[in-house]
Amino acid sequence: MKDKLGFRIIRAVVLGALSLFVIFPLYIAFVTAATPFEDFSNTFRWVPEHPNLSAFVDVWSETPLAKYFLNSIIVTVATVAIAIPVAIAAAYGVSRYRFPGRKAFMAVILSTQMFPGIFFLIPLFLLAVKVQNVVGVQVVGSRWGLVLVYLSFALPLCIWVLAGYFNSIPKDVEEAGMIDGLSNVVAFARLVLPSNLGAVVAVAVFATVMSWSEVLFASVLTTNETQTLAIGLSAIVAQPTSPVHWNNIMAASILASLPIVIAFSLVQKRFVQGLSSGAVKG
């Protein structure tokens, strides 16, 4: 009994410390955003003297935040909408069929995750310029060019993760469905995929966060008209204004985080199920 009580106390202390570690920066961000620019001084105030939300309005009127939001939404939605179906099909093919080069294919997929993104920056940029010159269609500076680059990073990990989940499902499940008259594809869609929706949500969350917050490639492959939200926030921070309007910067950061927070809260249950089932299945 004492051991259980001691474990509960330790767990409460650890969880409380982790919660403070997460909540404290958020509190600082909200306090800074709610502090009027005129009230800023050398001493930080834990509670604003005259709190208001004018910074959230000013950041929309003073910067093209709506354009940044639109570009990020288009790029992120397109990346996820393409990556998930392709990853599901590829992972299922790798999991269920034995074909020449299968092991080499999986090794290449895994190897793409071993190098930092900057390693591919110049090669991808040169490739985009070459394709642009040959085809005659704008790649550098376009949203769809950025989508293609993001797919090259999101797809390998999505395929690798989903293939592991599909391997954990016995083939007998699909064979039983085919005995009942279902085709291979229908048996997969009805019997295998529903039990792995948590895994699909998990890789979709990864692709979403990666596309929404990526900075390196977006800073090179976009123009003023196609800049994403991450690049827009960097530009706001780097503005050579004196003094710096920290309330506007914090307000923009909070607004940029809201879509991801809302999206994650909607799929949180499925996401946790996917992670926990992966831990159990191995």
How do residues 185-225 score in pLDDT, each as one tens digit?
787 777 777 777 778 888 888 889 889 988 888 888 888 88
pLDDT at 47: 75
57 lies in some domain = no
Residues 107 and 41 in one domain: no
Range of the domain at 215: 65-281
Same domain (yes/no): 40, 142: no
Distant-in-sequence, close-in-space partners of 52: CB < 8 Å, separation ≥ 6? 34, 36
Token pair 């834990």: residue: 46
- Report how far apart, in Å, the C-alpha atoms of 26 and of each of 10, 23, 42, 128, 257 are: 25, 5, 20, 39, 11
Looking at mean pLDDT, say which of 195-199, 228-232, 241-245 comes out highest. Answer: 228-232
Same-domain check for residues 128 and 234: yes
Whether residue 10 sits in one domain with residue 127: no
Residues 190, 122 within the same domain: yes
117 with 246, same domain: the answer is: yes
The percent of residues above 90 in pLDDT, for the chain, comes to: 7
Residues 28 and 141 in one domain: no
The whole-angstrom separation of Cα 54 and Cα 63 is 14
State whether 71 and 9 are in the same domain: no
Query: Among 5-14, 155-164, 239-248, which stretch is predicted with the lowest mean pLDDT?
Result: 239-248
What value does the mean pLDDT of the chain take?
Answer: 80
Give the least confident one: 34-38, 61-65, 164-168, 223-227: 34-38
Average pLDDT over residues 68-93: 91
pLDDT score, position 281: 45
Provide the Cα torsion 94, 89, 110, 81; round to 10°: 180
Model confidence at 18: pLDDT above 70: yes
Is residue 246 in a domain?
yes
Residues 231 and 171 in one domain: yes
- Copy the structure tokens of residue 73: 């939404």
pLDDT at 282: 40
Angle at 177 between CA 90 and CA 280, to 5 degrees: 60
Check the CA dihedral 117-122-128-134 and report its sign: negative
Domains held by the chain: number: 2
Strand ranges, E, within 175-239? none
Residue 244 or residue 240, greater confidence: 244
127 and 166 inside one domain:
yes
Residue 170 C-alpha from the chain's centroid:
30
| 273 falls within a domain | yes
Q: In sequence order, what DSSP letters do the residues of 119-157 get, joined into one string?
A: GGHHHHHHHHHHHHHHH-S--TTSHHHHHHHHHHHHHHH
Q: Are 222 and 146 in contact, with CB atoms under 8 Å apart?
A: yes
User: In this structure, is residue 169 part of a structural domain?
Assistant: yes
Copy the structure tokens of residue 116.
């930092």
Q: What pLDDT is recorded for position 87?
A: 92
Task: Tell me, yes or no, whether 143 lies in a domain.
Answer: yes
Domain shared by 6 and 88, yes or no:
no
Token pair in block for residue 148:
């293609």
Rounded CA-CA distance 41/268 in Å is 40
CA distance 201 to 211: 15
Q: In the chain, how many H helices and how many E strands?
A: 12, 0
What six digits make up the tokens of 114?
């071993």
Which CA distances in Å does 76 have to 27, 87, 163, 271?
28, 16, 23, 18
Average pLDDT of 112-139?
83
Q: Is residue 47 part of a domain?
A: yes
CATH classification at residue 71? 1.10.3720.10
Structure confidence at residue 78 as a pLDDT band (50, 70, 90): very high
pLDDT of amino acid 278: 45
Lowest model confidence (mean pLDDT) among 64-68, 243-247, 255-259:
243-247
Kindly report the pTM of this predicted structure.
0.81
Please say if the pLDDT value at position 157 is more than 80: yes
The answer to whether position 58 is within a domain reads no
- Say yes or no to pLDDT of 280 above 60: no
CA atoms within 13 A of residue 90's CA, in its CB half-sphere = 17
59 domain-assigned: no
Task: Output Rg (C-alpha) for the chain, integer angstroms.
Answer: 24
Same domain flag for 197 and 112: yes
